[in-house]
Structure 1
Amino acid sequence: MNDAATNAPVLVTGGTGTLGGHVLPRLRAAGRRLRVLSRTSHRSGDGVEYVTGDLLADEGIASAVDGVHTVLHLAGGPKGDDRATANLVRAATRAGVRHLVYISVIGAGRVPIGYFKAKHDAERAVSESGVPWTTLRAAQFHDLVFTVVQKMGAMPIVPNPKVVRFQPVDSRDVADRLVDLVQGTPSGLVPELAGPRVYPMADLVRSYLAARGRRRPFLPVPVPGAVGRAYRNGDNLTVDGVTVGSRSWEAFLAEKLG
């Protein structure tokens, strides 16, 4: 990476989220100037400039990408990732951004659920933008899985969709990989990143309950149709050419519950 690229700020969307909280200090430690796009105002400092804007509403993006060499697009939600990314891509193209790094999800384009479709459409917006790009598909984060199993474990009877399996990855492992990608050259679609093991959904809930000293009965539930076939086929998983994170679900759970 040349001096001009190193001296130009990196724009990070979603920098105030879980993943952003790991990425920002790592990029700062690498000596990068940072600009964070957020829907709410924050005080700038410690080498991080905060700018206010809204990707979905297409507000404040042009000024956010002005003078930026690299964009790290972490922002995401249950709906609208495709539209938000398309808005960001248009602004990045006009501003002459030279590297767009995007975090997507394993199963994008394969699992027939709206979230996965939106992620796949966002990937296409990035790859067809004309901006040099890198996309990393990652598995579900330990943090998200913990939220899900915590809610399921609070039920008097836990539903058990037997076909559903996850290969959760630690968000710190994802942050480490993204920092490497930001520091590197545009690489297209890079190897997917998942955790060390694949778990049936019920096993994840049971491990949480055991750690809390609780027991619950489980009730098998079907997952019908195309969604069931996708999970049965493991379309949300990856085994070939995958990069494996170092932090296990068990280690995360022990750390989380203290």
Structure 2
Amino acid sequence: MRVLVTGASGRLGTALLPRLAEGGWTVRAMSRRERQEGAGAGRDPGAGGVEWVRADLATGAGVEAALRGADAVVHLAAAPYRGRYTARVEVAGTERLLAAAAAAGVGHVLYTSIVGCDRVPWGYFRTKAAAESVLAGGGVPWSVLRATQFHSFLDRVLTLGARGGLLVADRRIPAQPVDVAEVAARLAERVADGPSGAVEDFAGPEVLGMEEAARQWLEARGKRRPVLRVRVPGGLGRAFRAGHLTNEAAPTGRVTWRSYLAATGR
């Protein structure tokens, strides 16, 4: 059985590819950029490696060829916060992918999305919700796995914020960060299970207030910064404070924020 992974060179794709190969799948990894020598280009999947192909969802170039012979697709490709290009990749690109998948006889497209994308009035979240709608009406058996924010994303946000000499946090906004490797493991399970025609949420094991998450980060990274309490205004703030970035559904990951911080060092 062959599975195509779009956006395979990203953080989640890098974690997912070996899990799929270990699970017995023949893995074809799709990237917009040419793979460099030694980075896995052209490796024989029959030898336990990954076959890399070049294709561009924004233009459609190479997509039909990438799907040839694929039984399933894990659709990870994303282009967040890049203006009109984001929609070209994530909405129009998903339409192109599904049309080609239907023509190729693909039996399952599994899409990765974000917990709360249908309830948080934020541009990029709306893009993810729009892509989910495209998937549901695309004529190919489908599943969606929504994840909460990765530990590494929250880490990066706090790192950038600390450069200004302090951290700001709305202490009433809860977060539920999740380990990227655990999301990859769940995706591998969902591929094996086949299409569900439903949305599943997958979140981290604990819900933390943003102020507490920031203080744990400062302690783990050995930094001294004041934490300024702010209130995120408007509908966006209300959606965040309502807990729409979190979820009580099972299963969840096991790696806590503090464990991630300890493992990644200062």
Secondary structure of the corresponding residue to residue 21 of structure 1? helix
1:163–1:223 CA contact under 8 A, matched in 2? no
Match of 2:43 in 1: 45
Aligned residues: 250
Secondary structure of the corresponding residue to residue 243 of structure 1? coil
Structure-1 separation of matches of 2:228 and 2:119: 27
Counterpart of 1:25 (choices 7, 18, 28) is 18
Match of 1:117 in 2: 126
Counterpart of 2:251 (choices 230, 237, 243) is 243
Counterpart of 2:29 (choices 36, 41, 62) is 36
Match of 1:15 in 2: 8
Structure-2 separation of matches of 1:212 and 1:142: 14
In structure 1, list runs of 5 or more residues that go unmatched: 1-5
Structure-1 separation of matches of 2:58 and 2:119: 24
Instruction: Give the Å deviation of 1:183.
Output: 1.1
Q: Deviations over 1:151-178 (max 9, x none)?
A: 1223212222234321001011111110
Instruction: Give the Å deviation of 1:222.
Output: 2.5
- Which amino acid is 2:17 matched to? L
2:115–2:148 CA contact under 8 A, matched in 1? yes
Instruction: Give the Å deviation of 1:190.
Output: 4.3
Q: Is structure 2 residue 179 aligned with structure 1 residue 170?
A: yes
Instruction: Give the Å deviation of 1:87.
Output: 2.0
Q: Deviations over 1:88-111 (max 9, x none)?
A: 112112222111011111001110
Match of 2:70 in 1: 68
Structure-2 separation of matches of 1:254 and 1:164: 23
1:10–1:71 CA contact under 8 A, matched in 2? yes
Q: Deviations over 1:56-85 (max 9, x none)?
A: 222211111111110010111213222222
Secondary structure of the corresponding residue to residue 200 of structure 2? coil
Counterpart of 2:96 (choices 77, 84, 87) is 87
Structure-1 separation of matches of 2:92 and 2:250: 28
1:160–1:202 CA contact under 8 A, matched in 2? yes
Instruction: Give the Å deviation of 1:231.
Output: 0.9
TM-score w.r.t. structure 1 length? 0.92
Identity of aligned residues (%): 40
Structure-2 separation of matches of 1:164 and 1:82: 29
Correspondence list, 1:133-148, <5 A:
133-148=142-157
- Which amino acid is 1:243 matched to? P
In structure 2, list runs of 5 or more residues that go unmatched: 36-40, 81-85
